[in-house]
Amino acid sequence: MGNEMESLLRIRMKGRVLGILFITAFAVCGYVLPCMAQDTVELLVVLEQGASIEPLPQGVITSCRIPGSPVIRMRVSKDRVEEIMRELKARKDVRSVERSGTGRIENNPDVGGLKDSEWYEEIEGEDISKLSSGAGVLVAVIDTGIDLENTIFEPCVFVNPAEIPGDLIDNDGNGYIDDRRGWDFGDNDNEPRDENGHGTEVSSIILGLAPECRILPLKINPDGGDTFTTGDLVECIYYALSLGARVINLSLTVDQNSEAVSEAIRAAYGAGSLVVAAAGNDSGDVAFPAKGKRRVEVEIGLEPGGNHGDGINNRGQVKPDEDDYWKDLLSISEEYAQGGQKGR
Ligand SMILES: [Ca+2]
Ligand SMILES: [Ca+2]
Ligand SMILES: [Ca+2]
């Protein structure tokens, strides 16, 4: 498939015209017609540097390279998926192939007003605020969006200066039409409006600690749901990097390891950005992608047993000397350390 066609497939349409234009343009990386989704599977293909996905295997329905990445989002017919995966894995220029998986927002926000909360004291918020106000730092919050009606957030939300809003034109040519203030990957529109509350809460915590940073709201779940696909997560991370995000916050977990997500996180580190991911809230081991190699563990516990006092934090087994990237950024909840479970 030529670059021109790949570009065409990348074009993102504003929500209200999407239905019409999708049929003619056969649009976009992430968006799938419901009737198509039933009979198809999304694959995430990571290419070697400089490699091309052409020629496409037989049975590929759409193929779209995530801008600025070696990752192809490929939709294939369900009855050919095993064959296509085998064929792709056999290619020298393909590093990995996987089915797009599912992740979920770690939906447990109940921190109240930040500065009045025990959390603020636990994470030594006063001291953190003295280190930096966050001025000049773009923080991508890949989550359920942000409350666009709340005027408190108005000055804090990133504005894409190269995009004119409302003209239905992709002015900056990045494949997303009218992406002036973030993007809704879950519903494929330019309004990352939060109908869940989690993303707004997470953003408010970040702004409580770093009041002068800018939030780039990237909504990943469809309205009414709190799950997402790893294909959308990968695309979100590369999108955040393309706009210069220095911090990428992932208060979410993915059900299984994903080489494509790992590749995106490696790209973030390569760009000098920090990725922050949730450990998980199911009382088990640290979930992916937080359990990746390059990690610093930060655990917030109000009392032994986990955050909110309900014992749901996932915990890792990393020892201080085990990982080059380990640093004592925060050391809290001494009870954990004394009991052999680290609270960091
Ligand atoms: Ca754009
Ligand atoms: Ca525009
Ligand atoms: Ca929306």
CATH number (domain holding residue 51) = 3.30.70
Cα gap 227→293, rounded to integer Å: 24
Residues 74 and 205 in one domain: no
User: What is the whole-number distance in angstroms between the Cα of residue 2 and the centre of ligand 1?
Assistant: 21
Could you tell me if 279 and 300 are in contact, meaning their C-beta atoms sit under 8 angstroms apart?
A: no
Q: Which residue has better confidence, 313 or 248? A: 248
Q: Which residue has better confidence, 57 or 25? A: 57
User: What is the whole-number distance in angstroms between the Cα of residue 141 and the centre of ligand 1?
Assistant: 18
Q: Give the pLDDT of residue 335.
A: 26
Query: Please, what's the largest Cα pairwise distance for the chain?
Result: 63
The model's pTM: 0.79
Q: Which of these, 308, 291, 303, 290, lies nearest to 332 by C-alpha position?
A: 303
Q: Which ligand is nearest to the CA of 177?
A: 1
Q: Give the pLDDT of residue 167.
A: 97
Q: Which residue has better confidence, 3 or 260? A: 260
Residues 258 and 159 in one domain: yes
DSSP 3-state assignment of 149?
Answer: coil
Residues 328 and 204 in one domain: yes
Range of the domain at 74: 3-100
Determine whether 58 is exposed, middle or buried from the number of CB atoms within 10 Å of its CB (0-12, 13-18, 19+).
exposed
Q: Give the pLDDT of residue 173.
A: 95
Residues 121 and 268 in one domain: yes
The length of the chain, given as a count of residues:
344
- For 222, phi and psi rounded to 5 degrees? -70, 150
Residues 129 and 273 in one domain: yes
Q: Which ligand is nearest to the CA of 11?
A: 1
Residues 112 and 78 in one domain: no
Q: Give the pLDDT of residue 250.
A: 94
Q: How confident is the model at residue 190 (pLDDT cuts 50, 70, 90)?
A: very high
Neighbours of ion ligand 2 (CB under 5 A): 164, 167, 169, 171, 178
Q: Give the pLDDT of residue 33.
A: 66
What lies within 8 Å, CB to CB, of 205 at 6+ separation is 111, 114, 119
User: 73 has which bridge partners?
Assistant: 44, 64
Mark which of 78, 100, 122 sits at the end of a domain.
100
Residues 60 and 129 in one domain: no
pLDDT digits (tens, 9 = 90+) for 138-160: 999 999 999 988 888 889 999 99
Mark which of 100, 118, 148 sits at the end of a domain.
100
Kindly write down the DSSP assignment for every residue of 14-82, as one continuous string: -HHHHHHHHHHH---SS---HHHHHTEEEEEEEEPTT---PSPPTTEEEEEEPTTSSEEEEEEEGGGHH
pLDDT digits (tens, 9 = 90+) for 294-341: 555 555 443 433 344 344 445 444 433 343 332 333 322 222 223 333
Neighbours of ion ligand 3 (CB under 5 A): 184, 187, 189, 191, 193
Q: What is the mean pLDDT of the chain?
A: 78
User: What is the whole-number distance in angstroms between the Cα of residue 181 and the centre of ligand 2?
Assistant: 11
Could you tell me if 44 and 234 are in contact, meaning their C-beta atoms sit under 8 angstroms apart?
A: yes
User: What is the whole-number distance in angstroms between the Cα of residue 99 and the centre of ligand 1?
Assistant: 28
Could you tell me if 72 and 53 are in contact, meaning their C-beta atoms sit under 8 angstroms apart?
A: yes
User: What is the whole-number distance in angstroms between the Cα of residue 187 and the centre of ligand 3?
Assistant: 6
* 164 dihedral zone (left: phi>0; alpha: psi -120 to 50; beta): beta
Residues 72 and 132 in one domain: no
Q: Give the pLDDT of residue 118.
A: 64
Residues 259 and 323 in one domain: yes
Angle at 343 between CA 331 and CA 116, to 5 degrees: 70
Could you tell me if 29 and 67 are in contact, meaning their C-beta atoms sit under 8 angstroms apart?
A: no
User: What is the whole-number distance in angstroms between the Cα of residue 182 and the centre of ligand 1?
Assistant: 10
Indicate whether 343 belongs to any domain: no
What lies within 8 Å, CB to CB, of 295 at 6+ separation is 277, 318, 323, 325
User: What is the whole-number distance in angstroms between the Cα of residue 314 and the centre of ligand 1?
Assistant: 38
Indicate whether 344 belongs to any domain: no
Q: Give the pLDDT of residue 122.
A: 67
pLDDT digits (tens, 9 = 90+) for 204-228: 888 888 889 999 999 999 999 989 9
Q: Which ligand is nearest to the CA of 160?
A: 1
Lowest mean pLDDT among 231-235, 278-282, 287-291: 278-282
Tokens linked to 61: 């329905």
Indicate whether 80 belongs to any domain: yes
Residues 243 and 144 in one domain: yes
Residue 7, pLDDT above cutoff 70 = no
Residue 28, pLDDT above cutoff 80 = no
